[in-house]
Amino acid sequence: MEATANQNQKQTSTDTNKPAPKPCLSGRGLTKVFGVGKVQTVAVDHVDFDFNEGEIISIVGESGSGKTTLSKMLLGLISTTEGTIEYQGKPRDISTNAKKKEYWKNIQPIFQDPFSSYNIFYKIDAVLDDCLNMRGFKNLPEEQKIQMKTEACSFVNLKYAELTNKYPFELSGGQMQRLMIARIFLLKPKILMADEPTSMIDACSRATILDMLLKLRDEINMTIIFITHDIGLAYYISDKVYIMEHGKFVESGTAEDVIINPQADYTKRLISDVPKIYEKWDLDTVVN
């Protein structure tokens, strides 16, 4: 079954400026099964993939197709039932807490729901300070810390001075999600796992956030795994697209190949399900 997914994978063709892509995160026969006995649910079913460095990879599928489970496995939040994950060509080792910590310096998430991503009992400053501590900047002079935090906030068009004494629930959803990106900017991980970061946000903020993700990729050469149910968004943002159905990749390839020339029935259906208004989505007008 994974063979078919591989067959559908098309070669990245056009970009000649970039050096040969280096796989950053790979999976071989990755499987997650929930439950035991007769009530087993196979959430992710023997998937293989190679996510290259500096690319934006979209994983598209409908609800329940296993996208989030896959992302949690890649993040190391849940264990894998079967299969291996390779990080930068070597098998990922998160057997101890110290190794986990080390791994998490390289991979960080943005979650779907900005409202539940924050501990409401702590001020926003605490979130940003955590990032600095994680990168070992704990003993930096205060002015330098503030400067870094201000820089991160201005990266996502937020004013640090206005936020510093606020609680997360005093911000709007869009602001919260942008602050999450500021957090990523401070942490500078190699891989960003964006799990439907725009699905809870209105259309205007959505474009801003996508734009920021693109900026992150361009400025820090971050690998972004963008999980979405919206194939229109995937087309807009990604270099590569993986289509996921019932825990399997049914099709993968460059965004252009997969969406303009879909092979799998499921992909065709996903594309036909997109509301017509999205067809007029123009890259130039949406940004800003």
Partner 1 sequence: MKNTIKQVFHSGKFLFGFVIFMFILLTVLIYPLFVTADPLQMIGQGNFFKPGTYVSVEESTLEKSYTLQIPKQFSKLEMVLDVETRAKIQDFLLKQGVAEADIDVTDAEGLVALWKANYDPNTKYKGYTTAKRKALKRLDSQITAAMKDSGVIVAEKDEEGNLQQSKVIKDTDYVNIKDVSKKTFLLGTDNFGRDVLTELVAATKSSLKIGLLAGLIATAIGLLLGLLAGYMGGLADNIIIFITNLFTVIPSFVILILISYSVGDKARGIAMVGIIIGLTSWPWTTRSVRSQVISLRNRDHVNLSKLSGHSMFRIIFTDILPYIASYVVMAMILQISSGILAEAQLSMIGLGPATTKTATLGLMMQWAMQYSAHLNGSWWAYFPVVILIALISFSLNLMNTGMDQVFNPQLRD
Q: Which residues bind partner 1 (CB under 8 A)?
A: 75, 77, 97, 100-101, 104-105, 108-109, 111-113, 116-119, 121-122, 130-131, 134
Q: Which residues pair with 86 in a beta bridge?
A: 26, 91
Rank residues 11 and 97 by Cβ distance to partner 1 and give the closer one. 97
Q: In what order do the strands lie in the sheet with 248-254?
A: 107-110, 191-195, 223-228, 56-60, 240-245, 248-254
- Write down the least CB distance from residue 189 to partner 1, Å: 9
Rank residues 23 and 76 by Cβ distance to partner 1 and give the closer one. 76
Taking the C-alpha atoms of residue 234 and residue 251, their distance in angstroms, rounded to an integer, is: 14
- Write down the least CB distance from residue 41 to partner 1, Å: 16
- Write down the least CB distance from residue 144 to partner 1, Å: 20
- Write down the least CB distance from residue 158 to partner 1, Å: 18
Rank residues 174 and 253 by Cβ distance to partner 1 and give the closer one. 174
Please give the backbone phi and psi of residue 103, each rounded to the nearest 5 degrees, phi first: -65, -40
- Write down the least CB distance from residue 288 to partner 1, Å: 28
Per the document, the length of the chain is 288
Residue written as tokens 């942490």? Answer: 187
What is the amino acid identity at position 175?
A: Q
Instruction: Give the angle 88-66-110 at the CA atoms, nearest 5°.
Output: 60
Rank residues 61 and 114 by Cβ distance to partner 1 and give the closer one. 114
What is the amino acid identity at position 62?
A: E
Rank residues 195 and 245 by Cβ distance to partner 1 and give the closer one. 195
Distance of CA 287 to the CA centre of its chain: 19
